[in-house]
Each structure stands twice: as structure tokens, then as C-alpha cells.
């Protein structure tokens, strides 16, 4: 399936909120995570893709208005280098499939994350020395290791991908 990394507009924001709220009912997905991600989409939809030291986009299946993921990137300066830290929240239906160990859901999640990484690397604002994603629990860390393998296989330009401790580090 083809995915696109694009900005939220009002239509995509409303469609994403409706789809995510409906899909979250009866799942193990934490409602606070859904609310926080939807608030991110609303914030960037209302104010454009860039706000101060961060920016937000969605990952959409081709032709769809509801996002498969909401991506927020935080910029941080370390000396003379910029670092991008990426937060990517999957749609509740995809998250639940990953939690259930469904191979199709994990493959979709890997494609969504790879699209998000590629999109973040292509953003011209603050060419960063690296993009980092934190594996906050063991299941997600395992997912990040699989993502590293998938990105190696797919290739994203000349980027290198490595897991360092609990971090997935992508160097453009």
C-alpha cells in the first residue's frame, strides 16, 4: 500500500478524529494517547505545519482523509547541530492489531513509520544531524528494531539507521 506524509488540513483533521474515536472504542489503546495525538493534529491544522520549535504531519494511505499516524517532530539544538526527535502515534485500529500480534497490522505499522521517517528527513526546516525515536517499552523497542531492518531493506536515500540503547537513530 502507498502512504503519503502530508500536512493536516481541516478536512483531514475532522476525518482523522472521527475515525480514531470510533476505532478506539473497545480497544486496549490508551484514550489519553489518542486525545494527545488528535490535539496535535488540531494544533497543526489550525496553525500550519510549523509552530515554534516543532512541526506536525500525518501519514495517510493514498486517497484517504483519515490518517494512519499523527507525527510530531521536536527540534533541539545541541551545540551547532540540530536534532529531530519524532513522536509517531498510530491509528487505534493499527495499534490494536500490533498489540494482538497480527502480521498485517505490524507490516502496515512498519510502512507507516518508514514513510514518516522518510518524510521527516525530507523536511528542509533545520537539516538535522539525526532523527531519533525513543523505545519507551520493550514491545515498542522490538518494533523499532524491526523498523531498522525494514528501513535498511527499503533504503531512504543515504540515511543510516541504527538502534542505540532504547533509541532508533537515523542519520541523513
Q: Region of 63 please: left (phi>0), alpha (psi -120 to 50) or beta.
A: left
Is residue 47 predicted with pLDDT exceeding 70? no
pLDDT of residue 89: 94
CA 22 to chain centre: 20
Pick from 52-66, 98-112, 152-166 the range whose average pLDDT is largest: 98-112
**pLDDT score recorded for residue 125:** 57
CB proximity list for 120: less than 8 A, separation 6 or greater: 5, 71, 73, 84, 86, 131
- The pLDDT value recorded for residue 113 is 93
**pLDDT on residue 87:** 87
Map 56-100 to HEC letters.
EEEEEECCCCCCCEEEEEEEEEECCEEEEEEEEEECHHHHHHHHC
Q: Poorest-confidence range of 29-33, 58-62, 72-76, 163-167? A: 72-76
Cβ atoms 121, 132 nearer than 8 A: no
Mean pLDDT of 100-122: 91
- In this prediction, residues 37-54 reach a mean pLDDT of 70
pLDDT-derived band of residue 132, with 50, 70 and 90 as boundaries?
confident
The structural domains of the chain, ordered by start, are 3-171 (3.40.630)
Rounded CA-CA distance 83/145 in Å is: 20
Average pLDDT score over residue span 137-144: 90
Cα of 115 vs its chain's centroid, Å: 8
Going by pLDDT thresholds of 50, 70 and 90, the confidence category of residue 72 is confident
Amino acid at each position: 500500500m502507498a502512504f503519503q506524509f502530508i500536512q493536516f488540513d481541516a478536512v483531514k483533521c475532522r476525518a482523522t478524529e472521527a475515525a480514531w474515536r470510533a476505532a478506539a472504542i473497545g480497544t486496549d489503546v490508551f484514550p489519553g494517547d489518542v486525545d494527545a495525538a488528535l490535539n496535535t493534529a488540531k494544533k497543526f491544522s489550525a496553525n500550519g505545519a510549523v509552530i515554534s520549535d516543532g512541526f506536525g504531519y500525518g501519514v495517510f494511505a493514498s486517497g484517504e482523509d483519515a490518517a494512519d499516524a499523527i507525527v510530531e517532530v521536536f527540534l533541539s539544538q545541541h551545540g551547532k547541530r540540530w536534532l529531530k526527535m519524532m513522536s509517531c502515534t498510530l491509528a487505534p485500529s493499527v495499534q490494536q492489531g500490533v498489540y494482538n500480534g497480527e502480521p498485517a497490522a505490524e507490516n502496515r505499522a512498519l510502512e507507516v513509520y518508514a514513510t514518516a521517517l522518510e518524510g521527516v528527513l525530507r523536511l528542509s526546516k533545520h537539516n538535522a544531524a539525526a532523527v531519533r525515536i525513543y523505545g519507551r517499552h520493550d514491545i515498542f523497542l522490538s518494533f523499532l528494531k524491526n523498523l531498522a531492518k525494514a528501513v535498511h531493506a527499503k533504503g531512504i536515500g543515504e540515511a543510516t539507521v541504527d538502534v542505540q540503547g532504547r533509541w532508533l537513530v537515523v542519520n541523513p
